[in-house]
């Protein structure tokens, strides 16, 4: 499967009261990967929401990714995204099997991406590139890093961190395959606007 396009990431607070309607609006506009990101400890709710997203994603032929929770991903038979504090990637690859999509957060370090590639990552994520509400303390990345990554890695490259329709074009020009977006997609005042933004992001990536 070719990993190129919009990578939508949910935010429980931002989507409070409109969670499924906004997610479906994004899927309507075309989403390659949808990441369920919920840092709460309410496991029953997380399972319920993740199952609802899995069903939605199946309908729209979109791949669901669970943030940081390989057990939940295994239970639902979907992919997972691992941060640097989640330990090595290899055991997760063994747990989920060779076909599962596994992404790895590499911050602003090419070495982390090379390591993730060796351990079986499906894509690597660099960021943040702009000021980000979700990851305000993350180190910032340069466009030069993307050029280096494109030269040395043979994996899809994802950019994350404060990405909007106004600032995404240079990232695409420097070889990014996946644009990971939270507020720039879901911080809209109607579901129709979410769909419009999703289509516009894909237009930038020529998907």
Q: Which residues does the annotation place in the binding site?
A: 35-39, 67-68, 86, 105, 132-135, 162
Chain Cα centroid distance, residue 78: 13
Residues annotated in a binding site for Mg(2+): 68, 86
CA distances in angstroms from 128 to 1, 9, 118, 161, 175, listed in the order given = 26, 14, 23, 4, 16
Which residues, including other chains, have CB under 8 Å from residue 123's CB and lie 6 or more apart? 3, 101, 103, 104, 155, 156, 157, 158, 177, 178
């Amino acid at each position: 499967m070719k990993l190129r396009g919009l990578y939508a990431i949910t935010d429980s607070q931002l989507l409070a009261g409109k969670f499924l309607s906004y997610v479906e609006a994004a899927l309507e506009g075309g989403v390659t990967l949808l990441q369920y990101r919920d840092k709460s400890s309410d496991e029953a709710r997380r399972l319920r929401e993740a199952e609802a997203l899995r069903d939605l994603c199946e309908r729209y032929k979109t791949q669901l990714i669970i943030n940081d929770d390989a057990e939940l991903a295994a239970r639902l038979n979907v992919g997972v995204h691992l941060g640097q504090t989640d330990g090595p990637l290899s055991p997760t690859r063994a747990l989920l099997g060779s076909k599962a999509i596994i992404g790895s957060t590499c911050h602003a370090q090419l070495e982390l991406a090379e390591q993730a590639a060796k351990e079986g990552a499906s894509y690597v994520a660099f960021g943040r590139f702009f000021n980000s509400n979700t990851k305000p303390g993350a180190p910032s990345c340069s466009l030069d890093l993307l050029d280096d990554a494109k030269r040395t890695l043979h994996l899809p490259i994802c950019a994350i961190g404060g990405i909007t329709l106004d600032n995404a074009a240079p990232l695409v020009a420097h070889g990014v395959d996946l644009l990971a977006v939270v507020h720039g997609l879901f911080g809209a005042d109607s579901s129709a606007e979410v769909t419009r933004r999703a289509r516009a992001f894909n237009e930038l990536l020529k998907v």
